[in-house]
Amino acid sequence: MEEFNQLMKVRFEKLNRLRELGINPYPYEYPQTHKSREIKENFEKLEKQIVSVAGRMMTVRLMGKAAFCDIQDEQGRIQIYVRKNEIGEQDFEIFKMLDIGDLVGFKGEVFKTRTGEISVFAREFKLLAKSLRPLPIVKEKEEDGKRIVYDQFADKEMRYRQRYVDLIVNPEVKEVFVKRTQIIRAIRAFLDERGFLEVETPILQPIYGGATARPFVTHHNALDRKLYLRIANELYLKRLIVGGFERVYEFAKDFRNEGMDRFHNPEFTLLELYVAYKDYKWMMDFVEQLFAHVAQTVLGTTKIRFSGHEIDLSPPWQRLTMYEAIEKFTGVNISDMDEKQLREVAEKLKVEVTPEMGSGKIIDEIFGEHVEPKLIQPTFIYDYPIEMSPLAKKHREKSGLVERFEPIIAGKEVANAFSELNDPIDQKERFLEQLKLRERGDEEAQMMDEDYIRALEYGMPPTAGLGIGIDRLVMLITDQPSIRDVILFPQMRPENK
């Protein structure tokens, strides 16, 4: 820490010296004409042309009356050649005061060095922002034409906490977030081409619903009422289906007051969409097509690699009912069991359950422990117990079940879909059952939403609904092990000072 403070002290001294020389270390603009990759890809056209480039100085090599440095912009790096005779003695002395991390603009001629590296021969330069904190030292070398990085800025917690530094010194991280944007863009195009309308629904809600989760609570001073950050946008989107829109979707920031691990962040992105006059069978086919489209658009293939597995997203996907899947991986048929019997099965399978859990939660725990991690290739798990799905339509043929599915890929669910419950009487009864679970201590059970019941009483057409965890989908497509690797600024525990 003492060495770090000394390095900062030296940089502050340089900052003051530059100001004494009449140099503004934080000017207002710079006329950048070209980016690094643009110059490299169009060298034949740009050779001997004057360009202006700008970026962060990442390396510098002083050699008497000349120097080489690399600057990094959003596209990559490019080498700059600086010669004292060209820029003048005073400016060369100023150049030598620059540090790694400083943002600098260079104007000069595009050329290729004797070693064949495309570079810019500086005619002039301008300091654009003085860096007062030294960057973590990242060493690299080239072997057989490949960039080898060592002594990397690799402390995960520090990288998440100081994402701005992570992006500077680990530029490959940017590619994950470029792909994230491409994934969302591909989904939007897919939906827009099929007649969906993108809408917005409230983030602050008087009654939270649409999922089983604990909310974040806030207070509105002017109305003097408690409000909740939404845990899902489902109930508002289905109000729009009642109102006459037939295909709607929303990319929503949702908030759930839950633990944090590599698959959960309290703030996350959820895509929900609803289609009138369709059911969950139609939606299964739709999901297969959507996932395959996204992979093909972003990666150029439907075959992806995640956590050491090669996974093929092309249709058709395997389909198993929840009871079939549990029997397949545990050897136990639970389809006709009551809560007492399910508790006995959970005990035999060494699945931890608590007294407040009903049958649905117990089945969910058994599935999560013994089935889900083993489903690597895309698999639809469908036909869930009614207790697990208070917003899904009762199964048209099988008593005690609902028409619901989840696609499981690489051992984790990435979406959730229903034939949506549109019977207001049945829906009210389901909400009442959820309230009983709350009375037993289940804090994640859903609330009664009288206005939503009122909307259903006006009539909602048969509807298929889908929710996709965008962060998990990005993890999958970019082969990232943690949700924190695909969220630019994930939630962190307080920093120890």
Contact 390, 430 (CB under 8 A): yes
d(CA 448, CA 435) in angstroms, rounded, equals 7
Contact 469, 268 (CB under 8 A): yes
3-state helix, strand, coil in the chain (%, to 5): 35, 30, 35
Name which of 4, 9, 62, 59 is nearest 169 in CA terms: 59
Looking at residue 271, its amino acid is L
CB atoms within 10 A of CB 208: 23
| Backbone phi and psi for residue 90, each to the nearest 5 degrees, phi listed first | -65, -45
d(CA 26, CA 127) in angstroms, rounded, equals 7
Separation in Å, CA 18 to CA 23, 26, 85, 162, 457? 5, 11, 21, 28, 72
Name which of 383, 404, 409 is nearest 392 in CA terms: 404
d(CA 477, CA 315) in angstroms, rounded, equals 16
d(CA 371, CA 385) in angstroms, rounded, equals 16
Residue 83's DSSP bridge partners are 66
Burial class (CB in 10 A: 0-12, 13-18, 19+), 7: middle
β-strand 267-276 against 463-469: which pairing, if any? antiparallel
Please state at what angle helix 172-193 crosses helix 470-478, rounded to 10 degrees.
120
Separation in Å, CA 189 to CA 185, 304, 436, 469? 6, 21, 43, 18
Would you say 413 is a known binding-site residue? yes
Task: Give Dmax (Cα) for the chain.
Answer: 88
d(CA 481, CA 24) in angstroms, rounded, equals 44
User: How crowded is the C-beta side of 295, counted as CA atoms within 13 Å?
Assistant: 22
Coil, strand, or helix at residue 230?
Answer: coil
d(CA 302, CA 295) in angstroms, rounded, equals 5
Would you say 457 is a known binding-site residue? no
Residues 6+ apart with CB under 8 A from 157: 492
Contact 463, 238 (CB under 8 A): yes
Find where tokens 């051992």 sit: 411
Annotated binding site: which residue ranges?
Answer: 406, 413
Annotated binding site for Mg(2+): which residue ranges?
Answer: 406, 413
